[in-house]
Structure 1
């Protein structure tokens, strides 16, 4: 069956399904849905967890062995499998066997980017619809972001003036992960007081000298030396790279959309306005990048985004900041 994120908690209270699929391109909402499932599974006694990353290096025979081996033991466990491309690939046969006769001592959690449309026609997905739960997570539309931000603030007990809310919405540009982090920080700074525009402005001034939004602009502008300095500072300060990665991935895909297919002859300024890019600094950076970068560089940059994501989630020996430095060099090169 399918359910939306808002109905998930109610569904979990009724009992656990053997398999869950959470898919979407909003890291914050995907993470929160997964955390709800994990919490419910732990309460039901599924304490142990195994995690796999379904990239080209994953041996699905190892995953199958884990399913087979666990039936010999009394422990209740969770198997989490991340699908970074939205495709199950060689794992289809494994999941089909699991779904044909779901084990009682295992909860399976599949965590995917937006699910590839072809996968929804596969046998494994139809079996999952019958015996498990799919939670598709959709982006918050640009015109609804301010309302989402207001609701999120209210859930944290924060009261914002209309001006403060508009200022935050403009600065955050639809980045839900960064919005959540910013609201957490404002909650600590304001101690229950109403948040006005001056408070938001002061909070921005008191934040770290560099932030992820500025780094994205530097990367797109090809200013490698300054971008490298910012990467070092953000790494030292323990910044979460997933927030800036959401913005960077979105902008790179916008550039690819402009540089390929029927959009190649379109005026960059008009193209970005139609796609909701209104902030002058970001628009300038994108227009300059569109003139400077070719599709091959952009495709390579999108691949590096996947490596940053993988490393940030602990599936790579190298730091995500290592790959962001590679990104800096790639985007600084002339086509």
Structure 2
């Protein structure tokens, strides 16, 4: 079965499954889910732990032997396998066999990067769905981040003014680990007092973190102010813009297709899926942009992508981020023709 992180505590109260898969690219939330499972397992008597890392040196036969071995002292064990790439490779066959009949004295915990769609169609994953629990962990979206911060603050019994919450959200967006650490530090500094804007200004550094894919979505959504803030952070971090530029150009051409080549009566979401766009948020941003922008704005944006590409390769006096800011502004408005 598949469930959400927020439903895990109640699920664990009903009893332990034989296998858990925690997948995602948000380390703090993945770690917290794993810690809940570990605590429940220890409470149920699964004290011994074996840990494997699925790198090039891992012998999956060793994993199979440990899963199938009978303990001499009838000890219940936790076997954890870290999958840093989200790919099993040679481990698929082993997991298929183990998951067909999971051992009674073992709880298997798989800790993985985000799984791609192809991996979830494989036999091992289908076996896991039948015997265990998959908890996919997703990043907290920008518009939900202040609420997430407030919830965490409440759990730590911290009182924040509205202004303090706004500054925290701006400085910590996209970096949940830093956000959690800063809230812990504020709790130590303020000793139960209400935390105001001045306190946050003095105590909290700007630790916002973004990635290129998030920036592309914000640009296409017309959120120029937020996009420019993200550009500033990525520029300071020394990000190479060529990777996100490839995605942006591809999406701009999809927008042009939606405006000119979409067959009458065809669903835009289905049209985009045929072209490899499966993520709902990205699909929605492309569809909204196709409705909002004129063809001249789309062509202007593609031209600015060319300038950005030249600048990133050293053929322009201006930095590539300058043109990305111009592009964000160009795509922010309604149709201009």
Looking at structure 2, the residues matched to 287 and 57 of structure 1 have their Cα atoms a distance apart, in angstroms, of 32
SS at match of 1:163: helix
Distance of aligned partners of 1:179 and 1:277 in 2 relative to their CA distance in 1, 3 Å threshold: farther
Partner of 1:137: 137
Distance of aligned partners of 1:118 and 1:162 in 2 relative to their CA distance in 1, 3 Å threshold: same
Q: CA shift at 1:68, angstroms? A: 2.6
Matches within 5 A, 1:89-128: 89-128=89-128
Kept after mapping to 2: 8 A contact 1:22/1:134: yes
Kept after mapping to 1: 8 A contact 2:81/2:109: yes
Partner of 2:229: 278
State yes or no: 1:202 paired with 2:153: no
Kept after mapping to 2: 8 A contact 1:277/1:283: no
Q: CA shift at 1:121, angstroms? A: 0.8
SS at match of 1:278: helix
> How many residues end up aligned between the 2 structures?
248
Distance of aligned partners of 1:75 and 1:130 in 2 relative to their CA distance in 1, 3 Å threshold: same
SS at match of 1:117: coil
Detail structure 1 runs of 4+ shifted over 6 Å in the superposition.
Answer: 268-272
SS at match of 2:78: strand
Kept after mapping to 1: 8 A contact 2:68/2:103: no
Partner of 1:290: 241
Higher Rg: 2
Partner of 1:51: 51
SS at match of 1:125: helix
Distance of aligned partners of 1:88 and 1:73 in 2 relative to their CA distance in 1, 3 Å threshold: farther
Looking at structure 1, the residues matched to 142 and 70 of structure 2 have their Cα atoms a distance apart, in angstroms, of 45
Matches within 5 A, 1:261-272: none
SS at match of 2:118: helix
Structure 1, unpaired ranges of 5+: 214-243, 296-333
SS at match of 2:22: strand
Higher helix share: 1
Looking at structure 1, the residues matched to 68 and 136 of structure 2 have their Cα atoms a distance apart, in angstroms, of 29
Kept after mapping to 2: 8 A contact 1:269/1:287: no
Distance of aligned partners of 1:64 and 1:171 in 2 relative to their CA distance in 1, 3 Å threshold: same
After TM superposition, the score normalised by the length of structure 2 is 0.66
SS at match of 1:89: coil
**CA shift digits 1:159-179 (9 cap, x unpaired):** 100110000111112211110
